[in-house]
Amino acid sequence: MVVAAGSGSRLGASVPKAFVPLAGVPMLGHALRGALSCTAVSEVVVVAPAAHRGDAEVLAEGVCRELGSSAPVAVVVGGAERGDSVAAGLAVLGDAVEIVLVHDAARCLTPVAVFDRVVAAVAGGAVAVVPGTAVVDTIKQVDAEGFVVGTPDRSALRAVQTPQGFRRDVLERAHAVSSDATDDAGLVERLGERVLVVEGDPRALKVTTPADLDAAARLLTAT
C-alpha cells in the first residue's frame, strides 16, 4: 500500500494538508488508522515531503502503537508531481506484495469497508479497482470560451475516491510508461486495461478547503 501525503495545500496553512490537524490529529494520522485497520494491509509506505519525513515517521509509530499493529510502515520522500510520489512508494514495497492500494491522505476518513471492498475486487480478478459514488449534480462540458458543448448522462458518471487498488505488475507497467495523470487508474486505462468501480462512501471526501475540513470534523463528531 502507498499513502500519498502530498506537499500541496489549499487550506491556508503553512504545512502540507496531510499534516493539518483534524480533531487534534494530523489528517495523515486518520488516514493511517483507516489503512492499518484493514486486515489485508500487510505493509504501508507513506510518501511525504522531505521537510516532513520525520513528522510522518513519528506519527506512523504512534498510530501503530495505538492500534497494536505490527505492519511495517516506511516513509519515503516524494517527487515533484503526484505520479512521481506514487512511483517512489512503489519502488520500496516488499517483493511479496501483489496487490497495491494507492490512497490519498486527504481522504483521511475513508471507512475500512471501502478498503476491504477494493482489496476483495482485485483479489477476485480485477486488475484495477476504484471506489466511487454516484454523481448527483448535472455536469456540463464546456469549450475554451465557457460555452456548453455537451451534457453527459449523470447516471453513467461516478465521482472517484481512494484507495485505488491494482495488481502490482499492472500498476508498475503503467508507471513505466508515464506517471503523468490525475490518478493511477488513468495510467492503467491508457494501457487498455479495464478499471472496475466499486461502491465508495460519502465519508471518503477529499479535504482540500477549510469548508471540507469543517465537514470532516462534523463527520468525526457524528461517528
The cell numbers describing 97, all together, are 506484495
pLDDT score for 82: 85
Q: What is the pLDDT of residue 5?
A: 58
Q: What is the pLDDT along the chain (223 residues), one digit of tens a residue?
A: 676 555 444 554 556 788 999 999 999 999 999 999 999 999 999 999 999 999 999 999 999 999 999 999 999 998 888 888 999 999 999 999 999 999 999 999 999 999 999 999 999 999 999 999 999 999 999 999 999 999 999 999 999 999 999 999 999 999 999 888 889 999 999 999 999 999 999 999 999 999 999 999 999 888 6
**Per-residue pLDDT, 15:** 66
Residues 179/191, Cβ–Cβ less than 8 Å: no
**Long-range contacts, 22-29 (Cβ 8 Å, 24+):** 22/108, 22/207, 22/213, 22/216, 22/217, 22/220, 23/217, 23/220, 26/55, 26/59, 27/105, 27/106, 27/108, 27/207, 28/3, 28/56, 28/59, 28/105, 28/108, 29/59, 29/62, 29/63, 29/108
pLDDT of residue 221: 86
pLDDT for residue 16? 79
